[in-house]
């Protein structure tokens, strides 16, 4: 699946350790667009897991960037409750027609993971 919009918020990086002793790192970022009912704002909170992926995301992205986000929807069950998250696997500068021509011509800065 894919969403196009503006990075509205990048939350602080979270780090921890699993029960097996493996270290993990994740970041959550919020993308908004006006593709809701009658042009209403929609918000999407995406997660990225993995130290290398998080570092790459932070290197190439900042709040107010126009981006396309490719993602998967994932649901986990824990003690009878279900939790759904949007797992981003590719984030890159948007090529939308609303951008200025000089912005849409930039391809070298795309973040792909």
Burial class (CB in 10 A: 0-12, 13-18, 19+), 91: buried
pLDDT tens digits, one per residue of 41-93: 999 999 999 999 999 999 999 999 999 999 999 999 999 999 999 999 999 99
| CATH superfamily of the domain spanning 2-104 | Nucleic acid-binding proteins (2.40.50.140)
Q: What is the pTM of this model?
A: 0.79
Q: Indicate the domain borders of the chain.
A: 2-104
pLDDT tens digits, one per residue of 8-38: 999 999 999 988 999 999 999 999 999 989 9
């Amino acid at each position: 699946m894919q969403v196009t919009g503006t990075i509205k918020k990048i939350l602080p990086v979270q780090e921890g350790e699993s029960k097996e002793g493996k270290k993990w790192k994740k970041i959550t970022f919020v993308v908004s667009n006006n593709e809701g009912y009658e042009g209403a704002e929609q918000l999407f909170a995406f997660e990225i897991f993995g130290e290398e992926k998080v570092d790459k995301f932070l290197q190439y992205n900042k709040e107010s960037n126009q981006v396309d986000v490719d993602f998967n929807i994932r649901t986990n069950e824990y003690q009878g409750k279900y939790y759904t998250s949007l797992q981003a696997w590719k984030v890159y500068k948007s090529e939308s027609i609303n951008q200025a021509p000089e912005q849409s011509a930039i391809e070298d800065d795309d973040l792909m993971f």
